[in-house]
Amino acid sequence: MNNIWLVMIAGGLITFGIRFSFIYLFGKFHIPETVRKALHYVPPAVLSAIVFPELMLHNGALDLSLENHRLLAGLVAVIVAWFSRNTLVTILVGMVALFVLQWLM
């Protein structure tokens, strides 16, 4: 019953529509000041919402123990990011931290 091509084209059009929505509508109606202000918090909110579960959940359960290598390596990356402000350095140190932790334990 599945026509994978129809599904893909419909899914692609909807995805494009979602991405195009506000970019297209901007200027066609007035965006309230509060909304404009709120948009500044999209990056910290979305990025943290992705990062927290990646670091703190293990197989869907909260794991804040020292056995959680990803959490430890992630915390190292946070410190490195704070002082270096450099994306590549942060990733390299974070990956090395994860390798070392996995190798040690």
Partner 1 sequence: MNEQSRNFWSGVRAEVPLLIGVFPFGLIYGALALNSGLPPVAAQLMSSIVFAGSSQFIAAQLFHDTAPGFVIVLTIAVVNLRHALYSASLAPYVASLSIRWKALLSYLLTDEAYAPSVIHYEKEGVTTYGHWFFLGAGFALWFTWQVSTAVGVFLGSAIPESWSLDFALPLTFIAMVVPVLKNRAAVAAALSAGVTALLAYSLPYKLGLILAALVGIVVGTLLEGQKEKAGME
27, 29, 30, 32: residue in contact with partner 1 (rule CB under 8 A)? 27
- Map tokens 């410190």 to a residue: 79
Under rule CB under 8 A, residue 6 binds partner 1: yes
**Residue placing its CB nearer to partner 1 in the complex, 65 or 87:** 87
Quick count: other Cβ atoms within 10 Å of Cβ 94? 19
Under rule CB under 8 A, residue 105 binds partner 1: no
29, 30, 60, 65: residue in contact with partner 1 (rule CB under 8 A)? 60
**Residue placing its CB nearer to partner 1 in the complex, 47 or 66:** 47
Largest alpha-carbon pair distance within the chain? Answer: 58
Point out which residues bind partner 1 (CB under 8 A): 1-12, 14-16, 18-27, 31, 34-57, 60, 62, 70, 73-74, 77-78, 81-82, 85-88, 90-91, 94-95, 98-99, 102
